[in-house]
Amino acid sequence: MSGTFVGMPAFPEAAHEAVHNQTLRGNLRHATHTIRAKRAKAVSEVSDWAELREAGKRIKDHTLRRLDHYLVQLEESVVAAGGTVHWAADADEANEIVTRLVKMTGESEVVKVKSMATQEIGLNEALEAEGIRAYETDLAELIVQLGKDRPSHILVPAIHRNRGEIRDIFEREMSEWGRPAPEGLTDTPAELAEAARLHLREKFLRAKVGISGANFMVADTGTLVVVESEGNGRMCLTLPETLISVVGIEKIVPTWQDLEVFLQTLPRSSTAERMNPYTSTWTGTTDEDGPQNFHLVLLDNGRSDTLADEVGRQALRCIRCSACLNVCPVYERAGGHAYGSVYPGPIGAILSPQLRGTASEIDASLPYASSLCGACYEVCPVAIDIPEVLVHLRERVVEGGPVVREGNKVVLKPAKGHAAERAAMRAARWAFTHPGVLRTGQRAASRTRRLHPRTLPGPGRAWSDTRNLPPVPAEPFRDWWQRTNGGKEGGK
Amino acid sequence: MSSRERILGRVRRALADAPGEDVPVERGYLREHGDRSVEETVELLAENLADYRAIVHRCTAAGLPATLAGMLAARGAKTVLVPPGLEPAWLADAGTEQVPDRAGSTPHELDRVDSVVTACAVAVAETGTLVLDGGPDQGRRRITLVPDHHICVVRVPDQVVSSVPQALERLDPVRPLTWISGPSATSDIELDRVEGVHGPRTLEVVLVGSQPSEDVNS
Ligand code: SF4
């Protein structure tokens, strides 16, 4: 990965700031709660959700187990269909390849479909440095780009902005980039969308080069799939003469049939719809229909290192639906920016420290950006056990140990500045392996709950300085269970 | 060493901990959801299309030219894009000027056309989805994208399947496919759904059946 957002403080400080931003919290709460309720309904419409989830998990695990085989197969099929395949070991290499390909067309501007992979490698900035202007065409990405902002959500990157803020950004910035905002623009979503339509249409109609990512790549047919809503994807994928797709190596599914699982689970998990308005698939090039030059850039950038970790590799199953963000109590309060990466929320907390390593302060702090409540695991359509990976990564940060970085085995030293955490982890482990102690501790805690401090005394202070201690329930679960015979006699 | 070799080498070393171990894929999920008659499946398609704000019409094959002519007139369309293989009789009654789908036409030319009429490859009832595969009666992908008004004709019940798995079975992955579920939409502003950002803002679907009983223009 190209590194953290420049000057990004560690998660606790960034989150601390965000928690006190009332507008941000309001925008976020509204958005996540709306989408959460809708998603539950969309999922309840399919009676075989559990089976779809299990199949999705297994297809991805099966693919990851033989990733080398499927990568080679994919390359063969894409080439056979008329495409060209490039391999990029890291962000710099991917950026160099794309820049070179754009320059070969003689163009100095490109239109882009929203893509996490190109954000991850900082492609827009790399193109800018070479005199190539990249236009984001997804409405939310446009808002972020015009606002000189950073995305804060996987699916709705401008989720932290409300309609008034968006109106102001459009009015102020659109003229800098092309067609100005219409006179007297109000803040109704319909008018704002119309302004974006007009602003972007002139770019779509003249663009010669499109850049995209892909949601899936089918190994046996060489087909790429982009799932979207607005039609900006279709514009970028079909109007330009040259199409360049930058895709992480983990996005493969083995067969065409496998899409039947993900085309059912992805829309429902992300936008809570039965199906998103548009899905495009393309296999190489087609005569006289769409781009006549197609380049696929296969991106590693830390993925093979992540694959080397037996516990952590399950993060590579992620289909970027963003369901885990919308249910996460920590994300809801801290906001996406606090995670210091293009991957926010629970998935960001396990993916970023694996793709980038845990050397920086923010990456070392990310595995702690969770209450381990488990809601993210419950909603994940490919059943990634995010809490399990979080705990695993915490241990790695605290204790050090063998990891793979850029293909080489290295032994991590225990992180500096985490002495307090180390102590906390030791204490926690000790308590968990001594059930009697845990029981007594819980009882004592609940009996004295009104007396509990907001920060821990002594060596725990550094740890609790940046955290709110969770409230202690009035009665320990164990006692409740015994008192009510497992809930059968009616709880409290 | 090339990056290809470097990446493949890293992947192989990363997987060395459990060589040969495989994860079998079990497909315990359903091929379709629920038990429906053919008529009920068509009805579900109509419902789900309408739920995502497509405008649904129904007619018989004999009534199709009049239905299409009426729709174009109601829209006030002066020009309509026509794929090369579209059944000529379909637009026989329409007074609208026909613009053929040509490889050489520029996006700006397409942008000046009012409407487009196409057939489809398959329609999915459970999700309210139309799939276009670039066949001769559907034309290039861009003709259903740039104009603001798309009329799609679905032959029922032949072209209707219940579910996504059944649709994929029928489709050829080599062709470029466009799956359309309602008109273009965005929910990026406070999650309020707004129709029509970049694709057609109006999607009309005509379900053409053989039985006269279905002639219930809505
Ligand atoms: S981790 Fe799971 S829930 Fe979160 S974005 Fe990825 S697939 Fe979706």
Which residues on chain B are in Cβ contact (under 8 Å) with A259?
Answer: 168
Longest dimension (CA), chain A: 76
- The pLDDT score that the predictor gives to residue A447 is 40
Subunit contact A277:B11, Cβ cutoff 8 A: no
Could A48 and B30 be called an inter-chain contact, meaning their C-beta atoms sit closer than 8 Å? yes
For strand A216-218 and strand A223-228, is the pairing parallel, antiparallel, or unpaired? antiparallel
Nearest CA residue ID for atom 4, ligand 1? A324
CA–CA distance, A109 with A303 (Å, rounded to integer): 29
| Protein residue with its CA nearest to atom 6 in ligand 1 | A318
In terms of Cα–Cα distance, which of A154, A146, A115, A138 is closest to A32? Answer: A154
pLDDT of the residue at A24:
78
Q: What is the pLDDT of residue A454?
A: 41
Mean pLDDT of A112-137: 96
Compute, in angstroms, the gap from residue A318 CA to the centroid of ligand 1.
Answer: 5
Cα B92 to Cα B64: distance, rounded to the nearest angstrom: 10
Contact A34 B191 (CB under 8 A): yes
Distance A205 CA to ligand 1 centre (A): 34
> Tens digit of pLDDT for each residue in A149-194?
988 888 888 888 999 999 999 999 999 999 999 999 999 999 999 9
Q: Could you tell me the distance, in angstroms and rounded to a whole number, from the CA of residue A320 to the centre of ligand 1?
A: 5
The phi-psi region of residue A84 (left if phi > 0; otherwise alpha if psi is between -120 and 50; otherwise beta) is beta
B141:A93 CB<8 A: no
CB-defined site of ligand 1, < 6 Å: A 269, 318-324, 347, 379-382, 384
Question: A338 and A151 in contact (C-beta within 8 Å)?
Answer: no
Residue with tokens 């390359």: A75
Residue A107 has pLDDT above 60, yes or no: yes
- pLDDT tops 60 at residue A457: no
Nearest CA in chain B to A42: B127
Q: From the CB of residue B122, how many other CB atoms can be counted at a distance below 10 Å?
A: 22
Inter-chain Cβ pairs, chain A and chain B, closer than 8 A: 249
Tokens in use for B163?
A: 């579910």
What percent of chain A is predicted at pLDDT more than 70? 83
Residue A476 has pLDDT above 90, yes or no: no
- Pair A269, A321: CB distance under 8 Å: yes
What's the pLDDT score for residue A429?
54
With beta carbons less than 8 A apart as the criterion, state whether B123 and B160 touch. Answer: yes
Instruction: Please identify, by atom number, the ligand 1 atom nearest to the C-alpha of residue A317.
Output: 7
Please give the pLDDT value at position B213: 46
Q: Would you give per-residue pLDDT tens digits along chain B (218 residues)?
A: 899 999 999 999 999 987 667 888 989 999 999 999 999 999 999 999 999 999 999 999 999 999 999 999 999 999 999 999 999 999 999 999 999 999 889 999 999 999 999 999 999 999 999 999 999 999 999 999 999 999 999 999 999 999 999 999 999 999 999 999 988 888 788 878 888 788 899 999 999 997 654 444 44
Q: How far does residue A384's CA lie from ligand 1's centre (Å)?
A: 7
Amino acid at A105: T
Q: Which atom of ligand 1 is nearest to the CA of A154?
A: 5
Q: What ipTM was assigned to the predicted interfaces of this complex?
A: 0.95
> In what helix (H) or strand (E) does residue B96 lie, and over which residues does it extend?
none
Is the confidence at residue A468, as pLDDT, over 70?
A: no
Residue nearest to atom 3 of ligand 1 (CA): A380
Facing B185 at nearest CB: one of A59, A89, A277: A277
Partner-chain contact B3 A193, CB within 8 Å: no
- Taking an 8 Å cut-off on Cβ atoms, the answer to whether B14 and A304 are in contact is yes
- Listed in order, strand segments (DSSP E) in A206-308 are 209-212, 216-218, 223-228, 242-248, 252-253, 278-283, 293-299
Closest residue by CA, ligand 1 atom 2: A380
> A278-283 and B177-180 as β-strands: parallel, antiparallel, unpaired?
antiparallel
Highest mean pLDDT among A116-125, A405-414, A447-456: A116-125
- Picking from B3, B141, B142, the nearest residue to A93 by CB comes out as B3
**Given a cut of 90, is residue A17 above it in pLDDT?**
no
Q: What is the arithmetic mean of pLDDT over A431-459?
A: 43
Q: Who wins on pLDDT, B188 or A452? A: B188
CA–centroid distance, residue A336 to ligand 1 (Å): 15
Which residue bears the tokens 């007297």? Answer: A184
The side-by-side arrangement of strands in the sheet containing A242-248 is: A84-88, A293-299, A242-248, A209-212, A109-112, A133-136
State the smallest CA–CA distance between residue A178 and chain B in angstroms: 17
Query: A-chain residues within 8 Å CB-CB of B3?
Result: 87-89, 93, 300
SS3 content of chain A, % helix, strand, coil (to 5): 55, 10, 35
pLDDT digits (tens, 9 = 90+) for A239-276: 999 999 999 999 999 999 999 999 999 999 998 899 99
Residues B50, B68: contact at Cβ < 8 Å?
Answer: no
* CA B162/CA A286 separation, integer angstroms: 29
Pairing state between β B202-209 and A84-88: unpaired
Measured distance CA(A40)–CA(A269) in Å, rounded: 9
Cβ pair B168:A256 closer than 8 A: yes
Q: Does the pLDDT at position A79 exceed 60?
A: yes
Distance A254 CA to ligand 1 centre (A): 20
Mean pLDDT value of segment A377-386? 97
Q: What is the mean pLDDT of residues A434-458?
A: 42
Residue A97: closest CA among chain B residues belongs to which residue?
B3
Dihedral in degrees, nearest 10, Cα atoms B134, B140, B145, B146: -170
Record: contact A138-B11, CB cut-off 8 A: no
pLDDT tier for residue A443 given thresholds of 50, 70 and 90:
very low
Q: What is the reported pLDDT for A421?
A: 59
Task: State how far the Cα of A436 lies from the Cα of A440, in Å rounded to an integer.
Answer: 6
Residue of the CA atom closest to atom 7 of ligand 1: A318
